[in-house]
Structure 1
């Protein structure tokens, strides 16, 4: 049996409302929001007494989803360093194709987005950048220009 699809990418955040606002400004839509707790949650994630809330965010085309989760119990573990660099082992970043990179950056800055480097051009085909979003998430943006 083969994989059918990538269903979603899960990201733990400390402030769910802030993360939802950030990704909504980016252009994702809230598909649903719900508390998650109980035996099934404990069994699934391997923690005891899970109490969390999730927001499922979907891209406008309906194919990509982010599951944002805020843990109330047990408290979320903060990695060291708090904002790891892009070459840290593990999940690297989440990338989105955008139609106007400059406009997207301008709209995300009031939500705390900070460029990690600068906007770069790749072989006249893409303009790209990495930025740090809520909870230290590295978000990459790509605008096709050629």
Structure 2
């Protein structure tokens, strides 16, 4: 059997409300919230005593989802300083947007800061890398023309 689609990307956070506000400010829609735990979850993730709040946000087209998780137990390791975008591992999520300048302006009050500058990539896109709450990096791409 082949893969049907990518369902979601999971991101563990400390301040779930701030991260949900950031992504809904970007334009994603809150699909749902839940608290999970119990023996099935413990077995699935190979941890004992899991208690986790989660929120799922989705792109307006309904195809892309982020599962944002706040673990209450067991306690996770402390996060280190924000990694640069060239460090190994998952470093960013990219979204196609309309009105890049307006999107960046909307995100600033929610804790976003530009990593570099807004740039034009050839004649196809304007791009920006934004660091949001908890060091999350989001790339934004606006198609030109």
Show the 5 A alignment for 1:55-94.
55-80=55-80, 82-94=81-93
What is the TM-score normalised by the length of structure 2?
0.96
What is the TM-score normalised by the length of structure 1?
0.96
Distance 1:66 1:91 in 2: 14
Q: How many residue pairs end up in the alignment?
A: 145
- Deviation at residue 76 of structure 1 after TM alignment: 3.0
Distance 1:87 1:47 in 2: 30
Distance 2:87 2:49 in 1: 30
- Deviation at residue 23 of structure 1 after TM alignment: 0.5
State whether residues 30 and 55 of structure 1, in contact with CA within 8 Å, keep that contact through their aligned partners in structure 2.
yes
Distance 1:141 1:76 in 2: 30
Q: Give CA deviations for 1:4-51 in whole Å, capped at 9, x if unaligned.
A: 100000011111111111111101011100001111111111111111
1:34 is matched with 34
Structure 2: where are the runs of 5+ without partners? none
1:117 maps onto 2:113 in alignment: no
Distance 2:90 2:106 in 1: 25
- Deviation at residue 88 of structure 1 after TM alignment: 1.1
Deviating above 3 A after TM superposition, structure 1's stretches of 4 or more consecutive aligned residues are: none
Task: Give the 3-state SS of the residue equivalent to 1:107 in structure 2.
Answer: helix
1:101 is matched with 100
Task: Give the 3-state SS of the residue equivalent to 2:116 in structure 1.
Answer: coil
Structure 1: where are the runs of 5+ without partners? none
Distance 2:10 2:37 in 1: 16
Distance 1:128 1:31 in 2: 27
